[in-house]
Structure 1
Amino acid sequence: QKLAKENEVRVRVGQAPPLDLVQVEAEVADRREGLIRARAAAEDGEDRLRRLIMDPHDASFWQVRVDPTDEPAGRDALPDLDAIVAKAIDGRYDVARARNDVANAATSVEYFGNQKLPDVRLETSYRGSGLGGSQLLRTGVFPGVITGRADSGFGDVLGQVFGRDYPTWSFGLTVSYPLGHSYEELSAVRAGVERRQAAARVASLQLDVAAALRQAARQIRSTAEREDAARAGAALAAERSRDEQRRYEAGLSTSFLVTQAQRDLLQAQVSLLQATFDYQSSLVNFEALQLAPPLTAGESIALQGSNVVPLPTPAPRGLFRPGAGTGF
Structure 2
Amino acid sequence: MNSNRLVHVLSMQSALNGYFTRSIERVGGREALTFEVLNNVVVELTRLSIENRNLKMRVESLNRSQRELELGAIPQLDIFQPQADRASAEIQVSQARFRLAQLEDALRRQIGADLDPRYRTMPIVLTETVLPPADAVALDREALVQKALASRPDLQSSQIGLEIDDLNIRSASDLLRPNLNLAGNYSSNGRGGTQFLKTGLGDSAVTSIIPGGLSNALSEVFGFNNTTYTVSLTLDLPIRDRTGSARLADALVRKKLDALGLRSQEQGVRLDVLNAVSQLESSRESVKLAIISRDLAQKRLDAEWQKYNLGTTTMFLVLDAQTQVTTAASRVVSESINYRRNQLGLLRSAGHPAGRAGHHGTIAERGAPIRAPRSTMGRIHVLPDQVANKIAAGEVVERPASVGKELLENSLDAGAAELRIEIESGGRRLIRVADDGGGMLRDDALLAFERHATSKLTDVKDLIRIATLGFRGEALPSIGSVSRLVLETRTREETTGMRVELAGGKLLRA
Normalising to structure 1: TM-score of the pair? Answer: 0.70
Change in CA separation of 1:95 and 1:124 when aligned onto 2, cut-off 3 Å: closer
Change in CA separation of 1:9 and 1:104 when aligned onto 2, cut-off 3 Å: same
Per-residue CA distance 1:109-133 (angstroms, 9 max, x = gap): 222133234x353657576899999
Matches within 5 A, 1:113-124: 113-117=173-177, 119-121=178-180, 123=182
| Correspondence 1:221 to 2:287 | no
> How far is the alpha carbon of 1:290 from its aligned partner?
2.5
> How far is the alpha carbon of 1:263 from its aligned partner?
0.6
Change in CA separation of 1:115 and 1:20 when aligned onto 2, cut-off 3 Å: same
| Correspondence 1:158 to 2:224 | yes
> How far is the alpha carbon of 1:11 from its aligned partner?
4.0
| Correspondence 1:212 to 2:278 | no
> How far is the alpha carbon of 1:19 from its aligned partner?
3.4
> How far is the alpha carbon of 1:50 from its aligned partner?
3.0
- Between 167-176 and 24-33, report the one with greater CA deviation: 167-176
SS at 1:76 equivalent: coil
Per-residue CA distance 1:159-181 (angstroms, 9 max, x = gap): 685xxxxx978675645334374
Cα distance in 1 for partners of 2:187, 2:117 equals 80
Matches within 5 A, 1:224-263: 224-263=284-323
The one-letter code matched in structure 2 to 1:258 is V
SS at 1:158 equivalent: coil
Change in CA separation of 1:242 and 1:60 when aligned onto 2, cut-off 3 Å: farther
Cα distance in 2 for partners of 1:247, 1:156 equals 119
- Could you tell me which residue of structure 2 aligns to residue 15 of structure 1? 73
Cα distance in 2 for partners of 1:108, 1:26 equals 75
Asked if 1 retains the 8 angstrom alpha-carbon contact of 2:145 and 2:273, the reply is: yes
Please report the RMSD computed on the Cα atoms of aligned residues, expressed in angstroms. 3.6
- Could you tell me which residue of structure 2 aligns to residue 47 of structure 1? 105
Asked if 1 retains the 8 angstrom alpha-carbon contact of 2:189 and 2:221, the reply is: no
Cα distance in 1 for partners of 2:136, 2:87 equals 43
Cα distance in 2 for partners of 1:94, 1:216 equals 18
Matches within 5 A, 1:1-328: 1-53=59-111, 55-71=113-129, 73-117=133-177, 119-121=178-180, 123=182, 154=220, 158=224, 174-179=235-240, 181-182=242-243, 184-292=244-352
SS at 1:89 equivalent: helix
User: Which structure would you say has the larger RCO, counting Cα contacts within 8 Å and 6 or more residues apart?
Assistant: 1
Aligned residues: 275
Cα distance in 1 for partners of 2:187, 2:172 equals 40
Cα distance in 2 for partners of 1:63, 1:155 equals 79
Q: In percent, how many aligned pairs have the same letter?
A: 19
Per-residue CA distance 1:36-59 (angstroms, 9 max, x = gap): 212212222222333344633333
The one-letter code matched in structure 2 to 1:269 is A
> How far is the alpha carbon of 1:102 from its aligned partner?
0.7
SS at 2:351 equivalent: coil
SS at 1:64 equivalent: coil
Per-residue CA distance 1:265-318 (angstroms, 9 max, x = gap): 00111111232333244334423432358xxxxxxx8689989xxxxxxxxxxx
Cα distance in 2 for partners of 1:156, 1:99 equals 57
Unpaired segments ≥5 residues, structure 2: 1-58, 193-218, 361-510
> How far is the alpha carbon of 1:229 from its aligned partner?
0.6
Normalising to structure 2: TM-score of the pair? Answer: 0.47
SS at 1:16 equivalent: coil
Asked if 2 retains the 8 angstrom alpha-carbon contact of 1:130 and 1:160, the reply is: yes
